[in-house]
Amino acid sequence: MTERSEPTVTDKEREKEGDRVNEKEPIEQIQQIVDMGSTTVKNSRGAVHCLTIVGQVEGHQSLAQGVKATRYEHVLPLLAAIEESEEVEGLLLLLNTMGGDIEAGLAIAEMIAGMQTPTVSIVLGGGHSIGIPLAVCTKKSFIVPSASMTVHPVRTGGTTIIAPQTFRYFERLQERIVRFVSKNANITAERFRELMLSAKDMAADVGSVLYGEEAVEEGLVDEIGSLSDALDALYEMIALDRKREEERRRDWQ
């Protein structure tokens, strides 16, 4: 009959260290939400990183204090880390943005569009201006019935040099947005330009305001849906990816 050995000091230290690590996980997760507006959730259906794009997308210049903003220099490396991570299986993009810097917004949208990781977006509240490319850049997009999307031409604030070259710059910048949206959504470039230049919806400006079902009818967003619908779609993509990976492993054996 073998005697049962008492746990060594080293074993006890390891157990305590393990408990400390487990205690840290919720704290670190909360801190990540505070700092980045993002969190990773794991369950039997998959590991999903949830990223929020809120307020204005901040570009090369910092916005005024007190203005809600999403900083692109935080988001870009985060997206690269998600794409290369062996633990994260999907990205859920939560959108409630009033637009912001065009090039910064396009940079984020282009990165997401180029990801192999399953991606789903859902527009909550609003997806205005540069928020539209961010809404359509994922593999599937949703919008809640009460959310709105505002389509309008490229605009700028502050001092502007009035010259033909300035007009040409704005025109080319606008075409970059039109091309991206028409490529990643079910809307033609011609129809998107019509919505940009419409004079029916906005009293002091040109453009169009589309609410939930209208955005789907125009082809900007794939489906009307809630958070659970967006998650179900993402988990379906993850399940398909897992199945493909299993098939590859079988072929290699």
Higher pLDDT, 192 or 57: 192
* Rounded distance between C-alpha atoms, residue 84 and residue 240, angstroms: 19
- Is residue 152 part of the annotated active site? The answer reads yes
Distances in whole angstroms, Cα of residue 34 to Cα of each of 21, 47, 122, 252: 20, 20, 21, 44
Instruction: Indicate if 60 belongs to the active site.
Output: no
pLDDT at residue 36 tops 60: no
Considering 49, 152, 182, 208, which one is annotated as catalytic? 152
DSSP assignments along the chain, one per residue: -PPPPPPPHHHHHHHHHHHHHHHHHHHHHHHHHHHHSEEEEEETTEEEEEEEEEEEEE-SSPPPTT--EEEHHHHHHHHHHHHH-SS--EEEEEEEEEEE-HHHHHHHHHHHHT--S-EEEEEEEEE-TTHHHHHHSSSEEEE-TT-EEEE------S----SHHHHHHHHHHHHHHHHHHHHHSSS-HHHHHHHHT-SSS-TTS--EEEEHHHHHHHTSSSEE--HHHHHHHHHHHHHHHHHHHHHHHHHH-
Residue 13 or 57, more confident: 57
In the chain, domain spans: 9-29+36-252
CATH second-level architecture of 9-29+36-252?
Alpha-Beta Complex (3.90)
Amino acid 28: pLDDT:
54
pTM: 0.80
Q: How far is CA 253 from the centre of its chain?
A: 37
Select, from the ranges 14-18, 33-37, 93-97, the one with the highest average predicted confidence (pLDDT): 93-97
Q: How far is CA 55 from CA 30, 139, 208, 236, in A?
A: 20, 23, 20, 30
pLDDT of residue 143: 97
Higher pLDDT among residues 247 and 37, named by residue: 247
Residue of 49, 121, 128, 129 marked active site:
129
Q: How confident is the model at residue 101 (pLDDT cuts 50, 70, 90)?
A: confident
For residues 96 and 110, give the distance between their C-alpha atoms in angstroms, rounded to a whole number. 19
